[in-house]
Structure formats: C-alpha cells, structure tokens
Copies of this chain bind each other. A is one copy, B any other.
Amino acid sequence: MNMIPTNEIDLVKASSSKINDVDFNNLQFGRIFTDHMLVCNYKDGKWQKPQIMPYQPMTLEPSARVLHYGQAIFEGMKAYKDDDGKIFMFRPDQNFARLNKSATRLAMPEFPKNYFINGLETLITLENEWIKPGKGNSLYLRPFIVATEPAIAASPAEEYSFMIICSPAKAYYTDPVRVLFAEKYSRSADGGVGYAKAAGNYAAQFYPTRLAQEKGFQQIIWTDASSHDYLEEAGTMNIFFRIGNKLITAPNNDRILDGVTRKSIIQIAEDLGIDCEVRRVSVSEIKAAAKDGSLKEVFGAGTAAVVSPISAFSHAEEVFEISGSEDSYASIFKDHLLNIQHNISEDKHGWRHKVC
C-alpha cells in the first residue's frame, strides 16, 4: 500500500467509532457513513494538503457556487474485502481518469492522481473494519468536488473542495426492475455534459423517474434527445441487451457515461467468447426482438447496481415482459465481476488494486 507520507496529509482520528451502532444486515444505500472523511481544498490556484478528519458537517457560504450553479462532480467506487481480510479497489485508475474528464467539462481544476489514489488508500485502511467480507458487501466510496467560492457570478469558481465519504453497502437494486423507455423527457443533449458525472445530470432525471414510478416502472432508459429512437443509458447504469446469444450496448458518446462496469463487462464478454456489439440500439429493434422472442435479457451495469436484471420495459403504452433464464448473461457477468472484485478468481487484466 502506498500510504501518503505523513508530511503529505493531515490526519485527525475520530475519538470513537459509530460502527457498533450499524446494522450491516439492513443497510439502506448511502445513508450511513464511516467515521472519517477526506477533504482537500483548492485555493490560490492549487490543491492544498489533504486532510483526513472525523466525518462531520461542512460549512459553506450561502453564496457558494455549487448551491447556485451546480458546479459539482462525483465518482462512485467500491472497496471489497476477501476472506483473508485483504482489501481491494476495482480499477480506480478509471475513476480517476473520469473524474478529471468531468472536471474539465465543468471548468474545474484537475485533481492530482497521487492525492486521489493515496487518499483513498489511506482512508480505506483507516475504515478497514467497516468493510465486511462476502460477495455483495462493499464499502461504497464517494469522491466528489464542489465549487465552494462565495460568489454568485455565473462563472467558474476559484475555490473548490474535493472530498471522499464512505458508506457501507450491499448491492443496489436486488430485485429485477421494470423500466420505461423515454419518449418525451431527456437526460442530456449532444454537446452537453451527459458523459460527465456532473451533479445536474442526476437532478434532471428525478421528475421523469417519479412519473415513471407512478406508472409502476422504477427506472427510465434514456433515449437520444433528438429522436427518442435510440436507447442510451439508465442514469445510474449503462444498459445491455441480449438478443439471441448476442450482447448489444450503446457506444460512448457525449451523452452517455463511460461506465467502468460497462467497459469491464465488454471485456469479460470478449474473454468468455460472448459476441458483444457496441453500436446504436434502436427502440424498434428491441421491441421487435421482444415480440419475436429473441430478446433474452436486458440488464443495467454500474458500480452501485453492479449488474441489475430488468424484467420488463414499456414503450408507447405497450409493456414487454422479459422472462430471463437460469444461465443468464447478467448472472454470469455479475459472478465474474464479484469474483474478481473479491479476490476469488484470476485477475487477468490487472483490475484489482490492493489497498491493504
């Protein structure tokens, strides 16, 4: 493990731990946080010394730009423990690269790699006890950057906070979900910020998703904003379709998030000899496949959700049930991913990052 040298980080330990108050068998996603957090402030043109401190409220001026102009980005990652107590992250280099892609698009300063990786490692090591072994258990890691500068001019801030908070997690969406294909609302525009993990991308989905939920569908699969003819992603997950034995997923573009789980599944498919096409997926093609019985599976892929089977979709008031199967690709990919993440299987692509 590459601990940050003590001269590179300030560490103030919590005087006591909250861990004994936590029921690890009944975790709601993202509501319980560990004892510490990492904070690194940007001012005077540079990132200052990172600090690990007891998890605590933050103080913001009411004029902080994040509150007015949404200048905020984040990442979602997990740490996993194997049965020997060793702890790993999964492809943190990918999250790091994407964080800075998001930062650039939101006119924020890039964050340094050593602060990111070493900060995560130091924090995870400190929170070792919060990570439970067993597939499906993890410590969800939430690095994020917000514009803190107190000024309501509509321009990029000159002061930011990078923070990492940690929340013990079980897999998200354990039951198969029913989804709606978007026909009216959109998640992002060509030339917009859809490929970035920009805060505003998420709030924009809440209302259409609530309308979908009122119709009995938990999530929306977003379509292109211009024609609504092509399926893109699900907002917190990328989407895969299995027609016959072929896997299909939409290509990355400036509207679709470059998901780490997505790209890992594409690689695992190649490793397993599963044919995977990365190309535009039309609504009409998926409906036709659902009608003729060749649509075998639809599933979402994302860090929080891991792999999330979709049991039905609706479009133009028609509802299509997807039967699923015992040897589903969704379960094959989920097992492969979890086995790599939990140090159970071979890691041929070097995706595991040992923390301690």
A residues at B contact (CB < 8 Å): 28-31, 33, 37, 55-63, 66-72, 74, 104-107, 142, 144, 146-147, 150-156, 163, 165, 167, 182, 184-193, 198-207, 209-210, 225-226, 228, 235-236
Closest to A59 in B: B57
CA distance A55 to B63 in the complex (A): 10
Residues of B within 8 A of A207 (CB): 104-107, 156
Other-chain contact of A107, B55, B59, B165, B206 (Cβ < 8 Å): B206
CA distance A57 to B182 in the complex (A): 40
Q: List 22 A-B contacts (CB under 8 A).
A: A28-B151, A29-B152, A30-B63, A30-B151, A30-B152, A31-B150, A37-B62, A57-B59, A60-B60, A66-B67, A70-B199, A104-B207, A147-B203, A154-B202, A155-B209, A156-B206, A186-B190, A188-B192, A189-B190, A193-B200, A198-B200, A199-B203
Closest to A163 in B: B62
* Docked-complex contact B30 and A106, CB < 8 angstroms: no
Shortest distance in angstroms between A206's beta carbon and chain B's nearest beta carbon? 4
Residues of B within 8 A of A74 (CB): 68
Given A165-B63, A188-B192, A191-B182, A206 and B236 contact (CB-CB distance below 8 Å):
no
CA distance A188 to B152 in the complex (A): 21
Other-chain contact of A206, B155, B167, B189, B210 (Cβ < 8 Å): B155
* Docked-complex contact B107 and A203, CB < 8 angstroms: yes
Given contacts A30-B152, A67-B146, 6 further A-B contacts (CB under 8 A): A66-B199, A68-B202, A70-B198, A182-B191, A199-B199, A226-B226
Shortest distance in angstroms between A235's beta carbon and chain B's nearest beta carbon? 7
Given A55-B62, A62-B163, A203 and B70 contact (CB-CB distance below 8 Å):
yes
Looking at A104, A154, A185, the one whose CB has the most chain B CB atoms below 10 A away is: A154
Residues of B within 8 A of A67 (CB): 66, 72, 144, 146, 199
Given A70-B199, A203-B198, A206-B106, A63 and B189 contact (CB-CB distance below 8 Å):
no
* Docked-complex contact B189 and A225, CB < 8 angstroms: yes
Closest to A31 in B: B151
* Docked-complex contact A199 and B154, CB < 8 angstroms: no
Residues of B within 8 A of A104 (CB): 207
Given A163-B62, A191-B225, A202 and B70 contact (CB-CB distance below 8 Å):
yes
* Docked-complex contact B156 and A210, CB < 8 angstroms: yes
Shortest distance in angstroms between A31's beta carbon and chain B's nearest beta carbon? 5
CA distance A235 to B153 in the complex (A): 12
Closest to A104 in B: B207
* Docked-complex contact B202 and A201, CB < 8 angstroms: no
Shortest distance in angstroms between A316's beta carbon and chain B's nearest beta carbon? 15
